[in-house]
Every structure is written in C-alpha cells, then in structure tokens.
C-alpha cells in the first residue's frame, strides 16, 4: 500500500499545462481612472424611509450605487449583473431592506442601452435575485403596495427598437415569483409611468406609451398613448378621455400628492394645440389643460418625469433641460434653478417628506442636493459614471494623456497616471469643450494639440498651452448640398503623416491641422429619406410625433481608417450599411461586398485597417436598433471583396463597437463590447473578457503603442486602462515557468502633495483612482505550486479515499520529516547589470500567471520586527531602502523547496529610465552607503535593546541563584547604568528629551536624519547630509569599541550567574 501512496504522490506533482493568453489575462486587470468630476446620467433615486442617509442611485448607464452616509461615499452594488442600464429603483416601504431594480433605462435616447427585467434584493443590495420580465428591455417605474410587500407593479415600456416583448403594466401578488399582465394595449405600446392614490392603493393611474426608434428616426407617440385608471388594485382598467387630447399622444408623466390625494397631475407630449400640463381634481376621472408647457430639449421622450410637492398641492416640479416648477397648479411654470451651480438635463427628483425644501436631483451631470428648494445645490463629484463615446491618447512623457468625448459633459482630458502617490484626482481633469463630446484625436507630432467635436460634427482644434479652441468644421461650397454629420461623427489621423480626416456623408482631409479642407469623395452613403422608411410596420405622416431633432442625421459616415501598411488605402463605413474603399487616397471609390448574413441597413460601428496586411480590414456591424442583438465582426483580406466572420464564441448581446489589432502580433485583437472589454489571441476564434471592470459598455478602445497599454472608453463608468498588456503576446513562451517580458519602468519617487500619502486632509468624499503599482510591473508564470510533504501526502490520500481505498499509514519517519520540513518559498530575484542581486521579492505560493511589482529600491535597513503595530500614522509610511540607480536590471523566478533552489526560465531584462536628468548613478551609490551606515547603527541599537532585556532577566535570576553574593548583585546592577550611558551616546540625551528639551545630535540621530530624507529623493546628498553621515560613521566606529567591551562585561556577569547556579536567562547558554 505504501508503494501505491508513493506512486500517487509522484503523479500528483506533475507540472500543469503551460500558460495560455486567457490564463495570462487573469493576472492583468483593468484600472479605472475616472473621472468623477462631472458625474453622469441619473435615472432614479430612492431613499430609505427610516434611514434618511441611505440612498440608492439608479444610473441610466452605470449600474446602481448606494450610500449610507448621505453621499460622503458611494458603493456600486449591481456591478456583476448582466445589465448596466437602469430605469428605476424602489425601496419597499414596509420592509426597507427589500430593494427592487428595474433594468433598461426609461428614456428613448439614441444612445440608450437595454435591460433584462427586474431584480430584488432582500438585504439592502448585498445580493440580488432575478425576478423575471426579461424581455421588457426598458422599465419605467416600480410600485410596491404599502399594505402588502408581495404586491408589486412594474411599468414596462417594452423593447424600443422592435415590437413585442414584455410590454405593459405587470402585477405580482407573490413577491415577484409570477407576473400578470394587467394592462396591455398592443405590441408597440408599453407603460411608462404608474401611481397609487396616496390614501387608497387600490386606485391606480397608468400612462401608456407607444413609441419606436430605429437608426433613422424616433417615432415618439401614437394613438395608443394615454392615461388609464383602475379602482380594483389593477385587475381591470379603463382609459380616461375626459379633458384629454384625441390626437396622438407621446410620453406622459404622472404625479400625485398627499397634500390633496384626489389630484392627479399629468404632462403630455403631443401636437402644439393639445400638449402640455393637465390636472384632475376627481381621482383622474377628468382632466383640464392648464398650460402648453412640456419638457423640451431633445424632446419629452428624454424627460417628462413629474414630482409633486408633498406639502403644497399647487407646487409640482417638471424634469426638463432646466428644472421647472409651477406654484399655481400648472397655470405657469418657471425655472427653479437660479444659477450655474448645477448641470442641466434633469431626470429624477426625491423630495424629503419631512422638509420639502430638501431635495435630491439626478441629472445628466450626476447627483445634486439642495436644502433651499433649488436656490443652491451641492454636487457629488465622487460618482465615476461619465458616458464616453470616444477616446484618444497622446505620447506625453512620462505619462500619456487620455482624451474623450462624453454624453452631455463635453470633452474631458486627463492623465493616464500621475507622478504623485494620490493617483488620478478629479482636479487632474480638464474640460476644454462643452456640449455633447464626441470624436477626439491628438496631433501625432504635438502633444499639446488635440481635435475634438460636439454633436453632429462641430469640429474644433484645441491648444493645451493657450487653453483655446477654434472652429475647424469643413463647409460645403456654394451650390453643394448640406453636410450630413452623424451625431458621433468620426475623426482619424493618417498613420503616415499628421493628415486629419473627418467625415460627413463624404470624406474630408486637412494637411494643415484643420486650417483648410479638401473633400476626398462625393456622397458615400445611400442618401435615404428617413421619412420614407417604415416605423412600426408602416410609413407614417411626416407630421407624426417624430423626434428627429433628437436624432443623428441619417445616411452619414460613421467610421473610417487608413491602412498603416499601404498609404492611400482608406475605408469608410456608414450608418445605412455601406462600406466604401479607395486605394488612391480618394481619387476613386468602390463599394465593398455586403457583409454576409447582415441586414443591408446595418449601422457600421467601425472599419479598422489591419496593422499587418496591406489589403486587410476589419468591419463591425450593428443591428440592435432593429432588435437584433447579434455581434457582427468580420475580416477581409482582399480589400472588402469578401468577408469572413471572426465572431468566434462571442455571445449574443455583445454589440461590437470598436476593434483594434496589436502592432506586433496579428492574432492579438482587442474589442470594445457592449458588456465589457474583450481580447482574442487567435484572430477571433475565441474571445475573453478582460477582468477588472463591471458590466458596462466599452464604446471605444485604443492602444498606446509606446507603453503597451490598452485604454477603453466606457459608456457609464469613465475610462479604464489595461497597463502593460505585452505579456499577452508571450503566451506559451515560458512553458517551464518564469518571467514574461517586462516593460521598462519610470525611475522617480512619487510626490506627496497633501502632507501624507492618500487623502489626509481632504475628506473621504475626495475622489481619486490609483496609479498602477510604482516601479517595475513583473508578470510571471509558476507551473505548479511547490508542496510540502504533508500537502503531497494529503492529496494522495484524498485520491485513495475517492476510490474507496484504504489509506496506508505513512510511517513515523515520514511524519517526522513532515513536521521538521520548512515551507517552500517562491521568490523573485532582481539583479543589476553586473549580476549582483539587489532585491528578493517574496511571492505567493500559487500556481498560474501572476503580476507583482518591484519598487526599484534596495531592502530597508531597519531591523526585522515581526510585531504588527495596532496603529500607524499616515505620515509614518513603511520601512524602505534607497532607490537603486537607473539602468539595466533583470528579474528571475526562483523556487525554494526541500529539493533546493531552482531558477525557472531565463532572466527577463528591463530598464529603469529616469524621469528627470541628473548624475543618478553617483547619487545611488551615496544613498547605498548611507543605507549601510544606518543598517549597522540600527543593528547595534537593536542589540542594545536585547541586552537591556537580558540584563532585566539577569537581575531577577540573581535573586534565585543559590550561591549568589552581594558582589554578584553589584556586578549585575552595574550593567544597568553602563547600558543607559551607551544608549545616551548612540541615540541621544534621554534625560533632557524626557523634559521636552532640545538635545545635541546623537550618532543615530545624525545618520537617521541624513539617510531618512535621502531615501525620499533622487537628488544627491547635501553637504550637511554628507558631513552628518561622515561624522556619524566616524563616531560610530569609535563607539563600536566601547560597545564590544560592554558586551564582554555582560558575558562576564552571565558567567558569574552560571557559577552561582542561577536559572536560565535569555542569551545565556547552559553547559
């Protein structure tokens, strides 16, 4: 039986399979860099009824957040769910630990995402259950009966881009286990709002909403939109017509107030003669039109929410571009906001039931709070929920900038990382251009010049030095048709020069930074009339409730790319399904072959030329605005004459937004997808989601070639950076284990802007995101974790038990060997160019691919102390050694086990590159000398501490020595005074210091003061520091003789104790 156990142990220790790109990716992680300075679109707000500082924030495109401290900090609580688009959040009034979330935003914007039904949490958002209505896609409202937590109503708007789905008002009487459709109209009409009578929840009012959106148009109303009422708890319904328009109606907002429970307020979108604010005094039986006011901007489909004042029945608030209020029951409306202290585009409001002047307001620019009914507002700049369309990076040294166009927040620019320890802060971001930010690009030859746009192709050039922008939009010549710019019009920079391309329905080029433009094509689109295209199965009147002012222009160019391999080979894609190509810089154009199996009117999200093949091009098509959520990814190797799918195993629902190809390995691709950032290491056969980000749409992705970083723009959670993805190229390169390629590191010391690392004085609401680990990032592969003998035996015994076998006794010798065996170690050796080991890094004993970092320092000289203090002040920091000199270094993986030391793989070399100039080699040498002086002094100081402990034990032992004499007592007691004097000489005057008096510099004080500051600078020592170190070294050399003599005196006293028969004391061995 023992031979069976031995064989199993051998089999279980065979190496694991070599690393794959997927395994490598698990060691990497996306790093969020914000920003949070301007927030993002808030869809709904719910407040705990008994804990007014606990809020739930539903973000239209950015998941759900919770605060328990009135917004000092927020925590995302819905990040791992399939949907990131949120329409509504509701707290059960009878059991506030129960929270309901409706996914799928309740607006009909061009950029809106979809959801997968409703979710419930029973523990305040810690965990969630999916509760059905998966095909609703957009939830307008959730109501919970205050008398019965099991009765829930869900207003489901239904799919925006197609018919059918879960559409209408749904009721559950069993806590969401089952749902009944209690109010349905037809396959195109859902329910957008629902309200209880404030005193009788059996009376309900519901607003139906007929709408459809496609790429070309938004039809935002129809004959089936209206107001309905139920008096039996939602079982039966009837449409209210008295006082309401007979013409087509668009989106309706409803509100009721406990100040007058029988009143019902409604704001209706419709024709100019019938739309506006309506009021009912008889529980919704009849209405009267009070004014023509309705929300504006891009249209009521984007707003329309009403909130009634709980104390004043004549005061109602209307969500709109600017927050509006009526104080006379709807006869007149005025803007509530009095200044520019708050963002526009309001979507949600919570009114404090105990203080109607206290409100929370959700806008496109985040969350606000007011205590004076909107006279002043407080913003919460700690929600990183900005929605970015596009991203660009430059080559600024040492760290590149990130530039992006954001939904309703303008164009934002900030650093990818910083030279300080705080990371990327809100105050590091800059907003050079307002409105809706869109396409962005940097001038490849000048990091200070950037190109950016507001919606629909309003192009500008920005100069970072002067902080000025200038309009550079190309203009049609006299007699030419108007330019049709997409809402998110594209921009591209030629890889062969600094030529700038932008596109309307034709392609434009500028060779002088936008001073002048040349049209390189005619109309490259289908040039379709949107009013001749079907909506909801038919063509509607041109005077129907279209919201085309809220649309992008149609038949526009949406993407373009010039080949980096073949100059003049340019592709464009359009929103009406075409891909066009020129091989001569625009002189001649030809239409590429249709994408196989794709709707001819597909929106071409991206055309991206191959980084390796002159005739290669990628195409990403999007048909989700026709209700088709299939990801369409294609590649052509013959300039678009034929296409093959590279979707691979990418699942449905992952809309493919943008694709990029690695510059070195043609099989390595990165994809910005609807629910995350993906990569493929085999040209699209398999796709893997990059870890580190929540479920969120990545709308754009770029590669920063110099640093081997990937930067993604999300539509609701800001920017993410994948630092140093180069290890993905090295899959399979170290099958026996070792270090993957290491990127050169920037040599500098992070600054401390605010007295101490972190945020010592700014409060917990100050938003920052971390830099990557300082120093060299090192990715390594450990094929198998070294096991102890006991671990190997337990694994073998487990196999035997699983086969129902008898587990043999291992033998006492084996057990003894197991008990005496030291645990294995996994280490990283860092060596300089001469081969000298300058640092050992202790690594976790876990098989697989991992990433660690080296801070570019020698080990700390401090004595080893295994005691962990209960509290460390923020400014204390951790023990550290001096920086090594810049230059060439190498990292190698080493495993220590009972078989000895074993190096895995070859050393991976990398450079430490100084950020600032200087004679760093000389400085590093002096710093290392200072470290050695401090190390020897601190070692002696620690030994004096140990001697003090020995002496205390010796004094106690003398009393227990049978043959002790008065002379022995005197001999031992004399050691105390001698030790005190030595400590005084080494560490300073403790007598004066105990009375808070200044004391002359000590040996240890001189060395510590000089070396301590040197370890936090790349500068050479000052003359004072050099003199202090020299004096400390000289004095310590003289002190060392007296110290050794004292050690001998202690040893003599210990021998006398031994002779007197004293019991054991620390440091004194027995014979």
Q: What is the pTM of this model?
A: 0.95
Q: What is the pLDDT of residue 761?
A: 74
User: Does residue 788 belong to any structural domain of this protein?
Assistant: yes
Nearest to 78 by CA among 124, 45, 43: 124
- Cβ of 628: how many Cβ atoms within 10 Å? 17
Q: What is the pLDDT of residue 1016?
A: 86
Distance of alpha carbon 756 from alpha carbon 568, whole angstroms: 54
Among 362, 379, 396, where does a domain finish? 379
Cis peptide bond upstream of 675, omega within 30 = no
53 and 109 share one domain = yes
Among 901, 917, 933, where does a domain finish? 917
209 and 62 share one domain = yes
Cα–chain center distance at 831:
35
Residue 681's contacts (CB-CB under 8 Å, 6 or more residues apart) are: 20, 21, 22, 665, 667, 668, 728, 731
User: Looking at the DSSP assignment, which residues form a beta bridge with residue 861?
Assistant: none
Nearest to 620 by CA among 570, 673, 582: 673
The 3-state secondary structure of 526-591 reads: CCCCHHHCCECCECCCCCCCECHHHCCCCCCEEEEEECCCCCCCEEEEECCCCEEEECCCCCCCEE
Sign of CA pseudo-dihedral 131, 132, 133, 137: positive
In the chain (1071 residues long), the average pLDDT of successive 10-residue segments reads: 52 56 94 97 98 99 98 98 98 98 96 98 99 99 98 99 98 99 99 99 99 96 98 99 97 98 97 95 98 89 96 98 97 89 96 98 98 96 98 98 98 98 95 96 98 98 98 98 97 97 99 98 98 95 88 94 98 99 98 98 99 99 98 99 99 98 98 98 98 98 99 99 96 89 97 75 91 97 94 92 92 92 96 98 96 96 84 74 96 95 96 95 90 94 95 96 95 96 93 88 91 86 91 96 96 95 87 55
User: Does residue 747 belong to any structural domain of this protein?
Assistant: no
User: Does residue 748 belong to any structural domain of this protein?
Assistant: no
User: Does residue 414 belong to any structural domain of this protein?
Assistant: no
SS3 label, residue 845:
coil
Q: What is the pLDDT of residue 296?
A: 86
868 and 806 share one domain = yes
Distance of alpha carbon 366 from alpha carbon 426, whole angstroms: 14
Q: What DSSP line would sit under 204-253, residue for residue?
A: EEEEEEE-EE-SS-EE--BTT-EEEEESSTTSS-EEE-TTS-SS-EEEEE
Distance of alpha carbon 294 from alpha carbon 267, whole angstroms: 6
SS3 label, residue 772:
coil
930 and 892 share one domain = no
Checking DSSP bridges between strand 745-747 and strand 900-914, what pairing results, if any? parallel
| C-alpha distances in Å from residue 841, one per residue of 444, 773, 838, 895, 913 | 39, 14, 10, 12, 21
Residue 553's contacts (CB-CB under 8 Å, 6 or more residues apart) are: 456, 484, 485, 486, 487
Helix (H), strand (E) at residue 141: strand 139-144
Q: What is the pLDDT of residue 1050?
A: 97
Domain that holds residue 562: 482-645
| C-alpha distances in Å from residue 876, one per residue of 755, 757, 937, 1015 | 11, 10, 20, 14
Residue 562's contacts (CB-CB under 8 Å, 6 or more residues apart) are: 492, 494, 495, 496, 501, 568, 569, 570, 609
User: Does residue 1067 belong to any structural domain of this protein?
Assistant: no
User: Does residue 662 belong to any structural domain of this protein?
Assistant: no
120 and 235 share one domain = yes
Distance of alpha carbon 842 from alpha carbon 449, whole angstroms: 45
Q: What is the pLDDT of residue 3?
A: 55
Q: What is the pLDDT of residue 6?
A: 56
- Please state the domain count of the chain: 4
What CATH code is carried by the domain that includes residue 799? Answer: 2.60.40.4070
User: Does residue 673 belong to any structural domain of this protein?
Assistant: no
Q: Using the 8-state DSSP alphabet, how is residue 694 labeled?
A: -
Burial, 972: exposed, middle or buried (Cβ in 10 Å; 0-12, 13-18, 19+)? buried
Burial, 317: exposed, middle or buried (Cβ in 10 Å; 0-12, 13-18, 19+)? buried
507 and 619 share one domain = yes
CA angle 435, 440, 441 (to 5 degrees): 150
956 and 862 share one domain = no
891 and 929 share one domain = no
Token reading at 266: 């409604």
SS3 label, residue 22:
helix
Sign of CA pseudo-dihedral 129, 132, 137, 143: negative
Token reading at 433: 């251009």
Asked if residue 698 lies in contact with residue 673, where contact means CB atoms within 8 angstroms, the answer is yes
Give me the count of residues in the chain. Answer: 1071
User: Looking at the DSSP assignment, which residues form a beta bridge with residue 583?
Assistant: none
User: Does residue 137 belong to any structural domain of this protein?
Assistant: yes
Distance of alpha carbon 193 from alpha carbon 690, whole angstroms: 38
Token reading at 784: 């198998």
Distance of alpha carbon 1009 from alpha carbon 1022, whole angstroms: 12
What CATH code is carried by the domain that includes residue 556? Answer: 2.130.10.10
Token reading at 79: 């990040």
329 and 257 share one domain = yes
User: Looking at the DSSP assignment, which residues form a beta bridge with residue 170?
Assistant: 154, 181
Asked if residue 1062 lies in contact with residue 1070, where contact means CB atoms within 8 angstroms, the answer is no
Token reading at 996: 């808070």
Q: What is the pLDDT of residue 1?
A: 45
Among 917, 938, 955, where does a domain finish? 917
Q: What is the pLDDT of residue 210?
A: 98
Q: Side by side, which strands form the sheet with 518-519?
A: 491-493, 500-503, 507-510, 518-519
Q: What is the pLDDT of residue 1071?
A: 55
Nearest to 823 by CA among 896, 894, 900, 892: 896
529 and 514 share one domain = yes
- Cβ of 309: how many Cβ atoms within 10 Å? 22
78 and 225 share one domain = yes
909 and 1012 share one domain = no
């Amino acid at each position: 039986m023992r031979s069976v156990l031995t064989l199993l142990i051998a089999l279980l220790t065979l190496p694991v399979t070599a690393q794959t790109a997927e395994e490598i990716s698990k060691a990497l992680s996306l790093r969020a860099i914000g920003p949070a300075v301007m927030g993002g679109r808030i869809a709904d707000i719910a407040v705990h009824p008994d804990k007014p500082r606990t809020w739930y924030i539903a973000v239209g495109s950015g998941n759900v957040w919770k605060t328990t401290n009135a917004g000092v900090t927020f925590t995302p609580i819905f990040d791992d769910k399939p949907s990131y688009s949120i329409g509504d959040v509701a707290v059960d009034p009878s059991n506030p630990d129960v929270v309901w979330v409706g996914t799928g935003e309740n607006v009909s914007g061009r950029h809106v995402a979809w959801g997968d039904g409703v979710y419930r949490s029973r523990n305040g958002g810690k965990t969630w259950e999916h509760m059905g209505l998966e095909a609703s896609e957009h939830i307008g409202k959730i109501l919970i009966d205050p008398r019965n937590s099991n009765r829930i109503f869900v207003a489901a708007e239904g799919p925006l881009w197609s018919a059918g789905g879960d559409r209408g008002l749904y009721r559950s009487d069993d806590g969401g286990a089952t749902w009944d459709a209690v109010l349905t109209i037809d396959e195109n009409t859902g329910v957008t709002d629902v309200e209880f009578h404030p005193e009788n929840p059996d009376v309900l009012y519901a607003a139906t909403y007929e709408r459809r959106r496609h790429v070309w148009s938004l039809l935002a109303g129809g004959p089936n939109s209206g107001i309905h009422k139920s008096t039996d708890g939602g079982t039966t319904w009837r449409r209210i017509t008295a006082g309401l328009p007979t013409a087509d109606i668009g989106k309706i907002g409803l509100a009721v107030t406990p100040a007058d429970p029988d009143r019902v307020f409604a704001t209706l979108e419709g024709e100019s003669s019938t739309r506006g604010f309506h009021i009912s005094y008889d529980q919704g039986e009849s209405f009267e039109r009070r004014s023509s006011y309705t929300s504006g901007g891009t249209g009521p489909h984007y707003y329309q929410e009403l909130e009634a004042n709980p104390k004043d029945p004549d005061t109602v608030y209307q969500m709109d571009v600017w927050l509006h209020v009526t104080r006379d029951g709807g006869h007149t409306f005025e803007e509530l906001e009095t200044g520019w202290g708050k963002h526009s585009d309001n979507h949600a409001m919570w009114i404090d039931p105990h203080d109607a002047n206290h409100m929370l307001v959700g806008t496109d620019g985040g969350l606000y709070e007011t205590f004076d009914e909107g006279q002043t507002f407080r913003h919460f700049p700690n929600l990183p929920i900005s929605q970015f369309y596009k991203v660009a990076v430059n080559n600024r040294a040492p760290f590149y900038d990130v530039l992006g166009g954001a939904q309703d927040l303008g164009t934002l620019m900030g650093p990818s990382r910083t030279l300080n320890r705080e990371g990327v802060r809100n105050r590091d971001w800059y907003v050079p251009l307002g409105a809706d930010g869109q396409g962005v690009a940097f001038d490849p030859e000048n990091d200070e010049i950037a190109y950016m746009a507001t919606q629909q192709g309003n192009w500008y050039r920005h100069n970072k030095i002067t902080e000025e922008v200038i309009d550079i939009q190309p203009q049609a010549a006299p007699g030419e048709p108007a330019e049709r710019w997409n809402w998110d019009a594209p921009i591209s920079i030629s890889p062969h020069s600094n030529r700038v391309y932008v596109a309307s329905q034709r392609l434009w080029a500028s060779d002088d930074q936008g001073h002048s433009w040349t049209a390189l094509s005619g109309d490259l689109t289908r040039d379709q009339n949107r009013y001749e295209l079907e909506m909801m199965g038919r063509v509607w009147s041109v005077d129907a409730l279209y919201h085309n002012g809220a649309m992008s222009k149609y038949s526009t160019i949406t993407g373009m790319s010039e080949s980096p391999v073949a100059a003049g080979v340019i592709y464009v894609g359009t929103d009406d399904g075409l891909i066009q190509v020129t091989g001569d810089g625009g002189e001649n154009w030809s239409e590429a072959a249709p994408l196989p199996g794709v709707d001819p009117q597909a929106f071409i999200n991206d055309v991206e030329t191959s980084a390796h093949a002159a005739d290669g091009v990628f195409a990403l098509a999007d048909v989700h605005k026709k209700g088709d959520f299939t990801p369409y990814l294609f590649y052509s190797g013959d300039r678009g004459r034929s296409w093959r799918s590279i979707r691979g195993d990418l699942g449905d629902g992952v809309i493919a937004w943008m694709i990029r190809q690695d510059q070195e390995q043609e099989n390595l691709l990165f994809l910005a997808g609807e629910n995350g950032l993906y990569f493929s290491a085999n040209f699209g056969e398999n796709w893997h989601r990059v870890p580190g980000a929540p479920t969120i749409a990545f709308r754009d992705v770029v590669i920063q070639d110099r640093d081997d970083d990937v930067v993604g723009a999300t539509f609701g959670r800001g920017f993410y950076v994948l630092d140093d993805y180069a290890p993905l190229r090295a899959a399979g390169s170290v099958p026996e284990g070792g270090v993957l390629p290491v990127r050169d590191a920037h040599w500098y010391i992070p600054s401390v802007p605010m007295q101490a690392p972190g945020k010592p004085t700014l409060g917990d609401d100050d938003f920052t995101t971390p830099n990557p680990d300082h120093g060299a990032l090192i990715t390594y592969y450990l094929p198998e974790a070294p096991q102890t003998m006991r671990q190997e035996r337990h694994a073998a015994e487990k196999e035997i038990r699983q086969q129902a076998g008898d587990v043999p006794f291992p033998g006492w010798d084996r057990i003894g060997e197991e008990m005496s065996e030291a645990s294995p170690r996994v280490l990283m050796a860092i060596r300089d160019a001469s081969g000298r080991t300058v640092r050992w890094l202790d690594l976790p004993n876990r098989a697989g691919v991992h990433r660690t970092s080296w801070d570019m320092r020698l080990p700390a000289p401090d004595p080893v102390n295994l005691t962990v203090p209960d509290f460390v002040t923020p400014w204390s920091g951790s023990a550290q050694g001096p920086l090594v000199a810049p230059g060439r270094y190498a990292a190698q993986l080493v495993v220590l086990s009972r078989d000895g030391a074993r190096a895995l793989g070859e050393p991976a070399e990398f450079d430490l590159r100084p950020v600032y100039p200087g004679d760093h080699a000389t400085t590093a040498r002096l710093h290392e000398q200072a470290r050695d002086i401090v190390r020897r002094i601190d070692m002696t100081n620690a030994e004096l501490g140990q001697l003090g402990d020995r002496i205390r034990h010796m004094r106690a032992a003398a009393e227990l020595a049978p043959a002790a004499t008065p002379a022995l007592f005197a001999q031992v007691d004399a050691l105390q005074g001698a030790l005190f004097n030595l400590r005084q000489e080494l560490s300073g005057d403790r007598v004066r210091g105990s009375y808070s008096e200044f004391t002359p510099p000590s040996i240890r004080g001189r060395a510590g003061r000089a070396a301590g500051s040197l370890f936090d600078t790349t500068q050479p020592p000052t003359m004072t520091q050099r003199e202090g170190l020299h004096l400390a070294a000289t004095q310590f050399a003289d002190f060392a003789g007296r110290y050794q003599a004292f050690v001998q005196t202690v040893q003599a006293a210990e021998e006398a104790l031994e002779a007197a028969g004293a019991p054991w004391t620390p440091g004194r061995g027995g014979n």
